[in-house]
Amino acid sequence: MTFDLDATETKVFGRKKRGTGRSRLGHLAYNSYAVTWAQRGRGLTSELKAGNQARIKACESLQMVRRAKRLLPAGHGKITARFDSGFYALELMAGCRSEQIRFTMSATRTSVMWSKLAEIPEDAWVDAIDMDGAQVAELAFTPDGWCHEPLRLIVRRVPVTAEDIQKTSPRARRRKTIAPQQLAMVLGGELDCTYAYSFIVTDILQAEMSTAEVECQRSSEVPSCDRENSPLG
């Protein structure tokens, strides 16, 4: 079974709503966090924060996961928890491990991730599932502070044209999915096309799920036609 931990902005009306705040979009809102039993489409537990607060802390996310686990029926079997990049934290990974919950976690595109990308040989890429033109590859990854076995870093790449990139705003999210050096070459007219990349860190064993299967499952919380707009981007 699968837990999805997600966040959404809940816009409210009325200035006397207790505990609200102005979000980055300028709305009076709450930030709503929920753990959902994916296979049943059932919300198990939630937290409500002011709209002007930063992301929920890793320890709070772990508390939600633990509460959700306690609500399950007996004999529920293995649990996998899915998180988008806003929840990426070593503390949350370690907490899931202590609860014997597998995890797939979208990773933020840091310099560490871009350097790991450079280690992937070209012949390691294979076609993604249900996403035309996309490919996936993986390599071993041990985050700083992780005291267990190496994890799997799964990377997805999607081809994008220079024309499409140049049409976007300098602050567009799409530009953040492109390796900085490649983006500079595209904007400088040196490349006609490149790739947009997404990263997933997971402790699911290769014997249990292939590279493409992990990536597809991680993205399956949104309709397949909208996977390019998913948290994996």
Query: What is the chain's pLDDT, residue by residue, as a tens digit (233 residues)?
Result: 999 999 888 888 877 777 787 777 777 888 889 999 999 999 999 988 877 776 789 999 999 999 999 999 888 899 999 999 989 999 999 999 999 999 999 999 999 999 999 999 999 999 999 999 999 999 999 999 999 999 999 999 999 999 888 888 888 888 999 999 999 998 888 989 999 999 999 999 999 999 999 999 876 544 333 344 333 33
Nearest-angstrom CA–CA distance, 43 and 63: 15
Give residue-wise pLDDT tens across range 56-84.
899 999 999 999 999 998 888 999 999 99
Q: Are residues 218 and 145 in the same domain?
A: yes
Please give the Cα distance from 46 to 185 (Å, whole number): 44
Nearest Cα neighbor of 202 from 165, 163, 148 is 148
Taking residue 147's Cβ as centre, other Cβ atoms within 10 Å add up to 8
Q: Do strands 135-141 and 42-50 pair parallel, antiparallel, or not at all (unpaired)?
A: unpaired
Rounded Cα distance between 29 and 9, Å, is 6
Write down which residue in 104, 125, 154 finishes a domain: 104
Q: Which domain covers residue 28, as residue numbers?
A: 1-104
Model pLDDT, residue 223 = 36
| pLDDT tens figures, 134-162 | 999 999 999 999 999 999 999 999 999 99
Model-level pTM?
Answer: 0.85
| DSSP codes joined into one string, 21-84 | EE-TTS-EEEEEEEEEETTTTEEEEEEEEETTS-PPPHHHHHHHHHHHHHTSPTT----EEEE-
For residue 82 the two structure tokens come to 């899915």
Same domain? 17 vs 117: no
Residues with Cβ < 8 Å from 215, sequence gap 6 or more? 128, 129, 136, 154, 156, 200, 232
CATH of the domain at 73: 3.30.420.10
What pLDDT does 20 receive?
Answer: 80
| Residue 83 DSSP one-character state | E
Alpha carbons 218 and 212: distance in angstroms, whole number: 10
Q: What is the pLDDT of residue 219?
A: 62
Task: Say yes or no: 161 and 207 in one domain.
Answer: yes
pLDDT at 14: 76
CA distance 190 to 173: 22
Structure tokens at 113: 């991730």
Structure tokens at 157: 């790449």
**Final residue in a domain of this structure, among 104, 139, 155:** 104
Does residue 71 sit in the same domain as residue 11? yes
